[in-house]
């Protein structure tokens, strides 16, 4: 194997491990130190070492174990170098917890999956509520501050600073690294579910499944959602979230034509949907509804269920959809919900009513660079006959859209307005 092949194989292996095991490795290391930032730094250095070592010596048969060993050594060296800042007893416990013997005793064949525990650590009440879900996304799923900031309508710089402060809070407060007791869950579960859904949404933004990183992210989010429902089978919102994700994932094959072009929901062929996933989602929603409390993800799942029913039967159910959006907006007050509600209102009462509804959130500064807002506004303006304004809104939506197929779809809609 020449050096170029060795470099490529090492890089490919490291990227695969990062997608597959980043969160698991960070969680395993952080469990022994309660220092998430130190675990991330050590793992980053271990990956750098791998890219230097593997091209020369070949990729190890168990790359995760190799990375864990190197990261462990780097963490020990780092903590010993900070001896003045760490008490002797704490340093001893940290070194013992990171020792090869301690790790080997726990990992005879594979690294235990402690991601769920770390997710609940990141959602601890000592952490500011607004940063809990973004922290989970970065620590467990390895998303960068820019991607996270986009999901939460915040600037990357502000998000980065808040993430750093949150990790320091975990270390300083000595937050226990464990899944909380049932009575402690109520204050933490929402952030965990929000993070899982944000990760799924980021992965789902690649409908064709051609982006390996995003495809893996979707699978990881589905795995974590199932993990939460297994841990908390009587939590209706956990069931609602998994149902919502299954409904969305069931339509993946229908969201692209054979030539790769984007297909909106109204034009999709229901025969291409995954009936097994839809049936599982409906069963989960039924289970959730029997538990007696309603929440955001159950309502989101109910919306998906209503869309499925309309597309399969041809029965117009927009009044039902608007009622669900009304309940969801009353619960969450999200501008994203308001945008989708406006589109449903337009289907029920006409484009002018939809425009009036979307105007209620038009002054929200967070929407200035939010592509779905401009795409929805363009669609409503076009239906209302305001073609000039619609073209301008489409222009902004096209400029903000990352997906080339969706961009072409919007460009076709915009071109259809020419001369009108």
Q: Which of 120-129, 177-186, 397-406 has the highest mean pLDDT?
A: 397-406
Residue 61 to residue 310: CA distance in whole angstroms: 51
pLDDT at position 371: 94
Nearest residue to 291 via CA among 244, 331, 232: 232
Determine the Cα–Cα distance for residues 151 and 383; give it in Å rounded to an integer.
29
At residue 38, the pLDDT reads 86
The pair of structure tokens assigned to 188 is 């933490």
pLDDT at site 215: 67
The DSSP bridge partners found for residue 256 are 262
Of the pLDDT bands very low, low, confident and very high (cuts 50, 70, 90), residue 113 is low
DSSP 307: H
Q: What is the pLDDT of residue 214?
A: 64
Q: Is pLDDT of 27 > 90?
A: no
Q: What 3-state DSSP class applies to 262?
A: strand
Whether the predicted pLDDT of 2 surpasses 90: no
Contact of 414 with 387, CB cutoff 8 Å: no
- Helices 3-30/129-141 angle, 10° precision: 140
Instruction: Please report which confidence band the pLDDT of residue 105 belongs to, taking 50, 70 and 90 as the band edges.
Output: very low
Residue 106 pLDDT grade (very low, low, confident, very high; cuts 50, 70, 90): very low
User: Would you state the pLDDT for residue 201?
Assistant: 85
* Helix, coil or strand: residue 258: coil
Half-sphere CA count of 296, side-chain side, radius 13 A: 14
Average pLDDT over residues 84-88: 47
Contacts of 290 (CB under 8 A, 6+ apart): none
Q: What angle do CA 358, 361, 367 make, to 5 degrees?
A: 105
User: Model confidence over 222-251: pLDDT tens digits?
Assistant: 988 998 898 888 999 999 999 999 999 999
Identify the top-confidence range among 13-27, 56-70, 168-182.
56-70
Q: Enter the tokens of residue 381.
A: 């303006």
Could you give the angle at the alpha carbon of 366 between the alpha carbons of 365 and 368, nearest 5°?
Answer: 70
**Mean pLDDT along residues 74-98:** 57
CA distance 335 to 89: 50
Average pLDDT, the chain: 85
3 state SS of 317: coil
Q: What's the rounded Cα separation, in Å, for the pair 210 and 262?
A: 14
pLDDT of residue 381: 96
pLDDT of 318 > 60? The answer is yes
Of 405, 400, 413, 411, nearest to 368 by C-alpha is 400
Tell me what pLDDT residue 176 has.
Answer: 75
**Residue entry with tokens 């599982």:** 280
pLDDT at residue 285 is higher than 90 = yes
Report the pLDDT value the prediction gives residue 68, as an integer from 0 to 100.
Answer: 86
The whole-number average pLDDT for the span 17-38 is 82
Among 67-76, 156-165, 176-185, 403-412, which stretch is predicted with the lowest mean pLDDT? 176-185
């Amino acid at each position: 194997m020449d050096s170029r092949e060795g470099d490529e194989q090492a890089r490919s292996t490291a990227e695969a491990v990062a997608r597959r095991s980043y969160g698991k490795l960070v969680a395993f290391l952080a469990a022994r130190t309660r220092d998430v930032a130190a675990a991330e730094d050590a793992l980053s250095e271990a990956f750098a070492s791998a890219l230097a070592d593997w091209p020369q010596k070949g990729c190890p048969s168990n790359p995760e174990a190799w990375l864990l060993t190197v990261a462990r050594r780097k963490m020990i060296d780092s903590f010993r170098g900070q001896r003045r800042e760490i008490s002797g007893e704490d340093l001893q416990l940290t070194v013992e917890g990171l020792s090869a013997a301690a790790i080997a005793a726990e990992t005879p064949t594979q690294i235990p999956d402690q991601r769920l525990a770390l997710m609940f650590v990141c959602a601890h009440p000592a952490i500011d509520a607004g940063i809990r879900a973004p922290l989970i996304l970065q620590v467990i799923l390895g998303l960068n501050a820019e991607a996270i900031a986009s999901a939460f309508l915040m600037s990357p710089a502000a998000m980065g600073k808040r993430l750093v402060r949150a990790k320091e809070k975990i270390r300083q407060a000595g937050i226990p690294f464990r899944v909380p007791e049932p009575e402690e869950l109520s204050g933490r579960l929402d952030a965990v579910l929000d993070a899982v859904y944000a990760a799924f949404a980021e992965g789902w933004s690649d409908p064709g499944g051609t982006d390996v990183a995003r495809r893996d992210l979707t699978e990881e989010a589905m795995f974590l959602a199932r993990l939460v429902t297994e841990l908390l089978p009587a939590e209706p919102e956990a069931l609602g979230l998994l149902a919502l994700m299954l409904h969305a994932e069931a339509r993946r094959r229908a969201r692209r034509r054979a030539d790769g072009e984007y297909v909106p929901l109204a034009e999709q062929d229901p025969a291409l949907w995954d009936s097994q996933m839809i049936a599982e989602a409906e069963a989960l929603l039924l289970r959730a509804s029997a538990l007696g409390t309603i929440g955001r993800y159950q309502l989101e799942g109910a919306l998906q269920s209503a869309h499925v029913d309309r597309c399969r039967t041809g029965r117009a159910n927009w009044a039902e959809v608007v009622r669900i959006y009304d309940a969801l907006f009353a619960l969450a007050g999200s501008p994203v919900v308001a945008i989708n509600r406006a589109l449903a209102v337009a289907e029920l009462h006409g484009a002018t009513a939809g425009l009036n509804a979307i105007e209620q959130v038009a002054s929200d500064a967070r929407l200035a660079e939010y592509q779905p807002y401009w795409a929805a506004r363009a669609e409503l303006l076009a239906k209302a006959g305001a073609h000039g304004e619609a073209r301008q809104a489409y222009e902004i939506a096209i400029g903000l859209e990352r997906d080339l197929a969706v961009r072409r779809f919007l460009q076709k809609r915009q071109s259809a307005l020419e001369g009108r």
